[in-house]
Chains A and B, each alone.
Chain A
Amino acid sequence: MDLSFLAETWLALLQGLPLTIELAAGSVACGGLLAASLAGMRLSGSPFLGWPARAYVFVFRGTPLLVQMFLIYYGLGQFRPTLQAWGVWWFFREPSYCALLALSLNTAAYASEIIRGAILSVPHGQVEAALACGMGRWTRARRIVGPIALRQALPAYSNEIVSMVKATSLASIITLVEVTWIAQKLISQTFRSVEIFVAAGSIYLLLNIVVTRAVLLLEYWLSPHLRGAPAEPARLEAAHA
């Protein structure tokens, strides 16, 4: 393996990093909002809200992201006149919007289940205590259920964020020039697949190290109750003497 070639490749691949980060951050943000709404629909108790959410999760969790991306980009591309009539073609014309949409819709399905599970895991006693204090629905959600559920969801959610960072590599199939796309192009120019994929893999790895550390930090910050109490200052025995 040629180290200077590896370094050169690494720098070339970094040009795709901004797009990779944009896609990952954008889809985690949009997907997270959608996931929260879906979880809310599931937990609302109303079948009219619950069943559509179930169907959504069933479809988007049960089909490959690659297929979803192809369908949104090339599939919807064949309905251009209809989409133009609806005035949404500007959105579907752009490969980056299509990739963002596919990634967001996909992550929303997984994340809604994480959020739902986290909300259900809030101990019933704590909700009852909040009720006994006379808290209304929103106060309860904001002060009791929300913080506890968020803390519960974090480990699973960090998994989801990490897999979204990796899933952005699929955007290369719809012409987006992100890290994997550049890697494949370099391979077809130089025919040196090992070095280039090692370099590309290391970029995703570094990105995910940052992501997992950040979530761990958030987790630490949200769970002061799990840490030992700070050491008490030494008693001033002398004062009693």
Chain B
Amino acid sequence: MFDANPAASPSARVRKVEPSSFGFQPSSVPPPAGGGGDLLEISLGPHHPSTHGVFRMNVVLDGETVVRLKPVFGYLHRNHEKLGEGTSYLGSMPYTDRLDYLNSMTNNWAYAIAVEKLAGLTVPERAEYVRVILAELTRLLNHTCLAGFLMQDCGCSGTPLMYAFRERERILDLFESLSGSRMMCNYQRFGGCRVDPTPAWLAAVAQLVDRYGPFLDEFEELLTGNEIIMARTQGVGRLPAALAVNAGVTGPMLRASGVGHDLRKVDGYGVYPRLNFRVPVGDHGDVYDRYMVRVLEMRESISLLRQALAALPGGPVLDPKAKQRGLRPKAGEAYGRIEGPKGEIGFYLVSDGTANPYRYRVRPPSFVNLTVLEDLCLGHTVADAVIILGSIDIVLGEVDR
């Protein structure tokens, strides 16, 4: 029988470099060492709800057990990084919305930080708080959606997803009334934010924050103690901490494996050092822990939102001296990163003194997190592979760019 111990496999297995990563080659799979039954190679996706977009998994099955898995992606490739070299610094901002289209506010922020570092801009105090508020709202939105989608993958069709989307819609309404668009916010600017939030908007945020705790209680009542969900997710897709660190996994997925690494604490960007919050860490690194870590993070986000709303100072929201159009930073390079809801989202920019970046590179969290997919899925069933993929929390707009 094929040895499919995920803990032993990453170092023991020798990865064969295949000539074409797009080719579907049924004959390329050697029979497993030590005999075993007939293998079946099937293609999961690309057009299937379980793949969260256009993503394909070529899986080799022994019975129902995954013995090999090859992710195939690039179906949504839009030349994002090359486009960034051809557009101005300001012109790339709306494109960053379209990376991870659930979390446009944090993408904007990471890009703004990179450009601010490059051009040496400062951000007014009020804008820093507004950015924290928006980033934590985004985290709520992303994790709520993820929990809903994960349950959809587990087979509870509809109900948890619709409850999650109901709450997500309230956050999107806030984004829309502030920035003009539900998902493609294009809100952050170099040296601050585009629009100053009105008192009415801040009151609406406070109201949403107050009702989010009760919603989470209800959501957890529905899901966390559910025996079917526990049976489906506990012990499935274990990610050892060492592998997570070596593969560069970040975000809730890394923390679920027991590594307390959070850029909000590590880098202390923005005004996070002034706010009190804890970083939830999992014990087992399985799908259930990834779900729980996200739920606990949402609770911390609620507390962060309360603190940020209480401490929000007055003043301008955009540095009036900061140049948006025709920005020409001095030649140099900068890497700006923040803790996005999915992990470390970073932008690496090289400037040669002209109006366009010389190099524009995105460090996408879901792409890097996806690299451990095979290691997580080996030895599990096809149905579990779907849940494991769901728990990684990918958005194909960011994976393929």
Instruction: Verify that A and B bind, or say they do not.
Output: no
Chain B interface (Cβ < 8 Å from any Cβ of A):
none
